[in-house]
Structure 1
Amino acid sequence: MAGNGVASIGECMLELSGQTGPNWRMGFAGDTFNTLWALHALSEDRPATYVSAFGDDPFSQGQIGFFAENGIGIGSSPVILGARPGLYAITLTGAERSFTYWRGDAAARQLASDPAALSKNLENQALVYFSGITLAILDDASRKTLLEAVTKARAAGSLIAFDPNYRPRLWRNRESAQAAIVEALGVTDIALPTFPDEQMLFGDETPRATAERLGQWVGEVIVKNGEQPALIAESGTLHDVPAIHVAAPVDTTGAGDSFNGGYLAARLAGHGPQEAASRAHRVAAAVVQVRGALAPFETLRAAFDS
């Protein structure tokens, strides 16, 4: 029997953003953590667990402390002696961002190093969320361990949500990414792809083509497409849900991740897919008006409930 909690699996990195001259602001972010941040803000009554692996350095300790200050635990995630978090820097051209990464030896690559701890972290969760980036940072054996744990959680009653989130530089080749993502879709209840990613990875010509392809494995598919409508595919029906235009975005980092968090929070609260997507669009629109990937909880809640 699934419990009340929400768990997200992946890599949270050190984020350098908001450059002013030689000065940078350091925070913590990463695709699956950004989603959990929004989901937790909008589902305060649900225990939130970030499932990963951490180092024993001061930055990792700061990361775990930041989670705790904001009500997010790490469950039984391993702490790896001598390991450390990955790092990325955001550079902006207007509101559009580009990223530079240092993550080759990040602790999160060992998140499946203790299969029993990983499975324990996914027990009694109402929802388990992971992404294509989660898959990409793992070797083949670790990826298999992860999917086995997710499958076990699903069999116990957890709802499984997955964003394919294709990042070519993290994969050996396109074919290995395709195979891993299709395997993950086979254990997924809610898929949250982004159309340009799917177009790049699978050659889809339209969001509808993406929805129909993913519908082979997944009963509920939400195809995000930037400022274009999100396409909802559920039970054989398709619906467009218009996005919200932001005239002067500040930073688009984390918009899609926050959409995912808003959508999943709304679904867990009992809203239907179209209403959930409308609320998720409002959350994403709020996030692009702040710097960095994480908007304040109050900002997210105000957008979600507006």
Structure 2
Amino acid sequence: MTRVLCLGEVMVELSLEAADPTRASVGIAGDTYNTAVYLKRSASELEVAYATRLGRDRFSAMIRERLRDEGISDDFVTESDDRLPGLYAISTDAGGERSFHYWRDRSAYRTYFDAPGPDLEAMATFDVIYHSAISIAVLPNEARGRFLDWLANYRADGGCVIFDSNYRPRLWPDAATARDAIERAWRTCDIGLPSLDDEIALYGDENAQAVIDRLHGWGVAGGALKRGAEGPLSLSGATCPDCPPAPRVVDSTAAGDSFNGGYLGARLTGVSEAEALAAGHALASQVVQHRGAILPRGEDT
């Protein structure tokens, strides 16, 4: 059985009601969390675990319960005595435009690699480590460097690293810091899942082929370049299937995260590259036709 460890920040989501902004529904979200959920749903035979840091509060308990409900191990979730999960709120104006408001400066995940830290020897027993640019952006600079060094050693010992760009400018002190850290991550991965818009915004590439050429130069030989409605391109040069756009887009939240889950669920269970690309695109097309990051069970098949 292939064992996959997904690492990152999972947050509490408050979705304010448009008709009455004093009322809100509470949810759970986070880029690598979303991918972990869709990965496990897409390939139940995979062993999927999630690595993060939470508090000892009711919301942290809710996150743990949600992970277990999805069949995802929380063995690598650690707890802080004095910090809580990050929080964000979504508000919608009269025209339907959404705004996001974040409270994550004291997120427990920021201290995940502080002493004594997680059990790195146990983490190294996983076949695959999946993380994103958000996973490393939220970490303090020193912890980020130590984690990337550890990943390089893990990979040298035969582990498979999967990285999703997910560049969010507000999480970085400046673009130069982001470029340096994300380049390190690209150079330490086996399967890359970049988004065209992110790569152009951060590195100034002219087009999709320029992105692919740069990543090949950094040693990224496999994976998929996500292009939204245009459909993905294979980083390995495999022929891409016809990927029609979603008939309607209600909410683009987690489009890339769900693509990753569907693609990896196929890829890690021996399906061909073309079929994996189609599976990722099909799942993302379903997700964008609904509100929210996580579809109710049964609607993602």
Task: State the TM-score, normalized to the length of structure 1.
Answer: 0.90
When structure 1 is superposed on structure 2, of 51-60 and 91-100 the one drifting more is 91-100
Report the Cα distance in structure 1 between the residues aligned to 2:108 and 2:253, rounded to whole angstroms. 23
Separation in structure 2 between the aligned mates of residue 162 and residue 5 of structure 1, nearest angstrom: 16
CA shift for structure 1 position 278: 0.6
1:5 is matched with 3
Matched, 1:155 2:156: yes
What whole-Å deviation, never above 9, does each CA across 1:91-110 have from its counterpart, x for those lacking one?
Answer: 45778754221111100111
- Letter of the 1:289 counterpart: Q
Matched, 1:214 2:215: yes
- Counterpart Cα distance in 2 of 1:138 and 1:294: 25
How far does residue 35 in structure 1 lie from its aligned partner after superposition? 0.6
- Equivalent residue, structure 1, for 2:112: 111
Q: Distance in 2 between matches of 1:223 and 1:168?
A: 20
Deviates more, 1:9-18 or 1:202-211: 9-18
Partner residue of 2:15?
17
Letter in structure 1 aligned against 2:144: R
Equivalent position to 1:228, from 223, 227, 230: 230
Q: What one-letter code is carried by the residue in structure 2 that aligns with 1:160?
A: V
Partner of 1:271 in structure 2?
271
Which segment drifts farther, 33-42 or 270-279? 270-279
Q: What is the CA–CA distance in structure 1 between the aligned matches of 2:208 and 2:240, rounded to whole Å?
A: 10
Q: Does the aligned pair in 2 maintain the 1:4–1:124 contact within 8 Å?
A: no
8 Å contact from structure 2 (residues 40, 70) kept in 1? no
Q: Does the C-alpha gap of structure 1 residues 244 and 126 become closer, same or farther in structure 2, counting only changes over 3 Å? A: farther
Say if 1:262 and 1:283, in contact at 8 Å, map to a contact too.
yes
State the Cα deviation string for residues 285-305 of structure 1 (Å, max 9, x = none): 1111222111134222x2xxx
* Structure 2: stretches of 5+ with no match in the other structure: none
Distance 1:272 1:91 in 2: 41
Q: Does 1:250 align with 2:250?
A: yes
How far has the Cα of 1:171 moved from its partner? 0.4
Map 1:91-130; keep pairs closer than 5 Å: 91-92=91-92, 97-114=98-115, 117-130=118-131
Percentage of matched positions with identical amino acids: 36
CA 1:124–1:25: 2 relative to 1, 3 Å: same
Q: What residue ranges of structure 1 are gaps of 5+ in the alignment?
A: none
Q: How far does the alpha carbon of each residue in 1:215-257 deviate from its partner, in whole angstroms, 9 at most, with x for none?
A: 12211141111111211121xx364444432233222111110
| Partners of 2:191 and 2:223 within 8 A in 1 | yes
RMSD between aligned alpha carbons?
A: 2.0
Instruction: Return the TM-score normalized by structure 2.
Output: 0.92
Structure-2 residue corresponding to 1:71: 71
Contact residue 228 and residue 242 of structure 1 kept, 8 A: no
CA distance in 1, matches of 2:136, 2:213: 23
Name the structure 2 match of 1:186. Answer: 187
Residue 77 of structure 1 deviates from its aligned partner by 3.0
Which moves more between the two structures, 11-20 or 186-195? 11-20
Letter of the structure 2 residue corresponding to residue 77 of structure 1: V
Is the 1:122–1:149 contact (alpha carbons within 8 Å) kept by the matching residues of 2? no
